[in-house]
Amino acid sequence: MKTVTVTLSLPRALAEEAGQAGLLNSELLAALLERALKQRRVNNLFAAMDRLDEQSTGILDFDEISAEIAAARAERR
């Protein structure tokens, strides 16, 4: 695995508290970043689903489809 060194600028109080809590280590920060990225992907997926739903006007629901099929069958008879 290739690694990258990152320098963060944090408010002193936050950095001190996080350091005292043992939160400023590579493994934990990597896990937090992975979690944030996963959450961002989920949020983007739901946003895309919302956009698709907004564009789906004119799509028939199950009852409307059933009625159309019944009407087509009646027409054929």
At residue 77, the pLDDT reads: 86
Q: Is residue 45 part of a domain?
A: yes
The pLDDT of residue 37: 98
Range 23-50 average pLDDT: 96
User: Do the Cβ atoms of 11 and 19 come closer than 8 Å?
Assistant: no
2's torsion region: left (phi>0), alpha (psi -120 to 50) or beta? beta
Residue 40 domain-assigned (yes or no)? yes
pLDDT band at 41 (very low <50, low <70, confident <90, very high): very high
| Cβ–Cβ < 8 Å for 10, 18 | yes
Total structural domains within the chain: 1
**In which domain, by residue range, is 17 found?**
12-76
**Long-range contacts of the stretch 57-64 (C-beta < 8 A, 24+):** none
Residue 41 falls inside a structural domain = yes
- For the chain, count helices (H), then strands (E): 3, 0
44: confidence class by pLDDT, cuts 50, 70, 90: very high
